[in-house]
Amino acid sequence: MDTTPDLNKPTEKPTGVYSLEVREVRHYTERLFFFRTERPVEFRFRSGEFVMIGLPPEIQGSKTVWRAYSIASPAWEEHLDFYSIKVPGGPLTSKLLGIEPSDHVWMRKKPTGTLVHDALIAGEHLFLLCTGTGIAPFASIIRDPETYEKFEKVYLIHTCRERGELQYGYDLVDEIRNHEILAEIVGDKLVHCATTTREESERTGRMTDLMRSGQLYDELGIKPLNSQTDRVMICGSMAMLQDSKTLCENAGLKEGSNSMPGEFVIERAFVG
C-alpha cells in the first residue's frame, strides 16, 4: 500500500494551531518580506510577543516546520502582521516566501516573549534597538498607545546592511504619522533613527558603535543611556545583543524579565 501523504489534499491542522488566511504580502528586498493574515477574534497577545509559525504540509511539501515569529502588529489591530527574512534554502522561509493572499499559514495559539511593557519598570525614555528583522516586535510596540502612556520619548533605532532594508521602518513611521488616531497619540514622542553598515546612507555605522562613541546621542540631542530615566528593549543578532547588553550594563541598567521587571530586556531575532 502506498503510504506517501497526498500533499495536494488540504491537511487537517493539529490541535492548538490556527489556520490563518493570508490577506496581503509585500516583498521589500530579495531578503525581506511582509505578510498580513486574518486574526482569530479570540486570539489575545501583548504587543511585542512572538508566536510559532508554520505552513500546512501541502505548501511546505513535507512535515510542518515551526519557527518563532514576532507579531509585528499591535495588540489592538484586527489583523496580524509578520516581517520575515528569506533564508536561501531555509527550511521554512524558502517556502514561506511564495505565499500569496488566500493561502493559509499555521500559527500555534500560545504567544510569549520578553519584549513587553510588563518586563520593564517605569521610566521616561524608551530605546528600541534592533537590527534587520529585529524591528518586527517594535513595529508592534511603536503602534501601541500604552507605549506613549508610559514613556515621554520613544527612540526606534534600526541598523541594517543596506538602505532598502530600512524601508519597512520608514513605512511604519509614515503610517503612524498619517493614522487618524495614532498620529495624535504619538505626536512628536517617536524618534526614528536608521543606520546602514554596508551601504552609504544618511547615517552610516552600527548603532552600537555610534552609541559607544557618543555620536548618536549628540546627533539626536540627547544624553547617553542613564538607569534613572532610560529603558531599553533589544532585538537582533547575537553579536548585536551582546554589544547592546554591554552598553546597558555599563550604564548601570539591569536586565528584566516577565517575572522580574528591570531596566532593559533582550530577545534574539533568530537562532544561529
Ligand X SMILES: Cc1cc2nc3c(=O)[nH]c(=O)nc-3n(C[C@H](O)[C@H](O)[C@H](O)COP(=O)(O)OP(=O)(O)OC[C@H]3O[C@@H](n4cnc5c(N)ncnc54)[C@H](O)[C@@H]3O)c2cc1C
User: Does 268 engage in binding with ligand X (CB under 6 A)?
Assistant: yes
Q: Cell 519598570: give the residue.
A: 121
User: Does 133 engage in binding with ligand X (CB under 6 A)?
Assistant: yes
User: Does 267 engage in binding with ligand X (CB under 6 A)?
Assistant: yes
User: Does 91 engage in binding with ligand X (CB under 6 A)?
Assistant: yes
Q: How far is the CB of 20 from ligand X (least distance, A)?
A: 15
Q: What angle do CA 179, 182, 185 make, to 5 degrees?
A: 145
Distance CA 179, CA 174 (A): 8
Please identify, among the stretches 132-140, 148-156, 189-197, 207-215, the one whose residues bind ligand X according to the rule CB under 6 A.
132-140
Q: How far is the CB of 186 from ligand X (least distance, A)?
A: 22
User: Does 88 engage in binding with ligand X (CB under 6 A)?
Assistant: no
Among 7, 90, 109, 249, binds ligand X (CB under 6 A): 90
User: Does 270 engage in binding with ligand X (CB under 6 A)?
Assistant: yes
Q: Which one, 75 or 92, has the nearer CB to ligand X? A: 92
Q: Which one, 177 or 198, has the nearer CB to ligand X? A: 198
User: Does 129 engage in binding with ligand X (CB under 6 A)?
Assistant: no
**Which residues inside 48-67 make contact with ligand X, applying CB under 6 A?**
50, 65, 67
Q: Which one, 135 or 186, has the nearer CB to ligand X? A: 135
User: Does 85 engage in binding with ligand X (CB under 6 A)?
Assistant: yes
The binding track of 212-251 with respect to ligand X, each residue x by CB under 6 A or -, is: ----------------------------------------
User: Does 37 engage in binding with ligand X (CB under 6 A)?
Assistant: no
Buried-state track 19-40, b at ≥16 Cβ within 10 A, e below 16 = bbebeebeebbebbbbbbbbbe
Q: How far is the CB of 90 from ligand X (least distance, A)?
A: 2
Kindly write down the DSSP assignment for every residue of the chain, as one continuous string.
Answer: ------TTSPPPPPTTEEEEEEEEEEE-SSSEEEEEEE--TT----TT-EEEEE--HHHHSSS---EEEE--S-TT-SEEEEEEE--TT-TTHHHHTT--TT-EEEEES--B-S-SGGGB---SEEEEEEEGGGGHHHHHHTT-HHHHHH-SEEEEEEEESSGGGGHHHHHHHHHHHH-TTHHHHHTT-EEEEEEESSS--SSBS-HHHHHHSSHHHHHHT-PPP-TTTEEEEEEE-HHHHHHHHHHHHHTT--B--SSS-BSEEEEESS--
**Which residues inside 170-209 make contact with ligand X, applying CB under 6 A?**
none
The binding track of 92-121 with respect to ligand X, each residue x by CB under 6 A or -, is: xxx---------------------------
Point out which residues bind ligand X (CB under 6 A): 50, 65, 67-70, 83-85, 87, 90-94, 132-133, 136, 267-272
